[in-house]
Structure 1
Amino acid sequence: MNVVVMILLILHFVGLASLLGGFLVQTKAIGRGKGTVVTAMVHGALTQLVTGVAMVGLIEMMGERDLDMAKIAVKLIVAVVITVLVFVFRKKDPAPSWALWLIGGLTLANIVIAVVWR
């Protein structure tokens, strides 16, 4: 089962790279008011959400580690907000710059929460 959790963690990182990379690619266009939610951001947000929930479920099911449920709840809320924003603005061309900056900022915040919150 640990192998499955590790595969999910790797996929979680791939989703993060896709989401953050898609945002970073759009930063120049956002500055000109022409930014869009690219497909990579949609796939990244969904991958992050699904793999995160699956990892927590498997780790809980195995019972080998105590998880900080407050941290997980905060990360889940942030991930859901990101996913909703991505889906709401994916067909808007251009997307509002505030929405794109919020997606990028929340993505970065989720990284900080994952690394700093102990």
Structure 2
Amino acid sequence: MEFLRLLLVFLHFIGFAALLAGFLGQMTAAEKRIVPAMIHGGLTQLVTGLALVGVDEALDKDVNNAKVGVKLAVLVVILLLAWANRAKPAVGKGVFFAIGGLTVLNVAIAVFWV
């Protein structure tokens, strides 16, 4: 079961990397857009994050439900912004930087909220 937990953590990091790479890849573009990596990375984080909570509960690990809830809420906002703007040829800087900022915020919550 511990191997499954570590695999899920690994895949969760891959999801974060895809989401952040999609954002950073568009930073220098004149017209910023939502790339599939951003949506797929966010969805990967959603699935693996929920699975991680289930595995941690099964292993009787202490789960901070408030932290999980906040991280889930931030991720849902990221996914809603990305999904709503995915077909647009260009998105506003506010939406684009909100997605990037919320992505970094989610990592900060994961690292600093103990």
TM category (shorter chain) comes to over 0.9
Q: CA RMSD in A?
A: 0.8
Report how many aligned residue pairs link the two structures.
114
Match of 1:108 in 2: 104
SS, match of residue 86 in structure 1: helix
C-alpha distance in structure 1 between counterparts of 2:109 and 2:20, whole Å: 15
TM-score by length of 2: 0.96
SS, match of residue 27 in structure 1: coil
C-alpha distance in structure 2 between counterparts of 1:79 and 1:57, whole Å: 18
Match of 2:33 in 1: 36
Match of 1:7 in 2: 7
C-alpha distance in structure 2 between counterparts of 1:71 and 1:101, whole Å: 23
C-alpha distance in structure 2 between counterparts of 1:77 and 1:60, whole Å: 20
C-alpha distance in structure 1 between counterparts of 2:97 and 2:109, whole Å: 18
TM-aligned CA deviation for residue 62 of structure 1: 2.2
C-alpha distance in structure 1 between counterparts of 2:112 and 2:93, whole Å: 28
Query: Where does the alignment leave 5 or more consecutive residues of structure 1 unmatched?
Result: none
Matched to 2:109, the amino acid is I
- The 5 A counterparts of 1:78-89 are 78-89=74-85
**2:24 maps to 1:24:** yes
C-alpha distance in structure 2 between counterparts of 1:60 and 1:81, whole Å: 25
Identity %: 46
C-alpha distance in structure 1 between counterparts of 2:54 and 2:77, whole Å: 20
Match of 2:72 in 1: 76
Matched to 2:54, the amino acid is G
C-alpha distance in structure 2 between counterparts of 1:59 and 1:66, whole Å: 7
Query: Where does the alignment leave 5 or more consecutive residues of structure 2 unmatched?
Result: none
Structure with more of its chain in helix, by fraction: 1
TM-aligned CA deviation for residue 67 of structure 1: 1.2
TM-aligned CA deviation for residue 42 of structure 1: 1.0
C-alpha distance in structure 2 between counterparts of 1:88 and 1:94, whole Å: 12
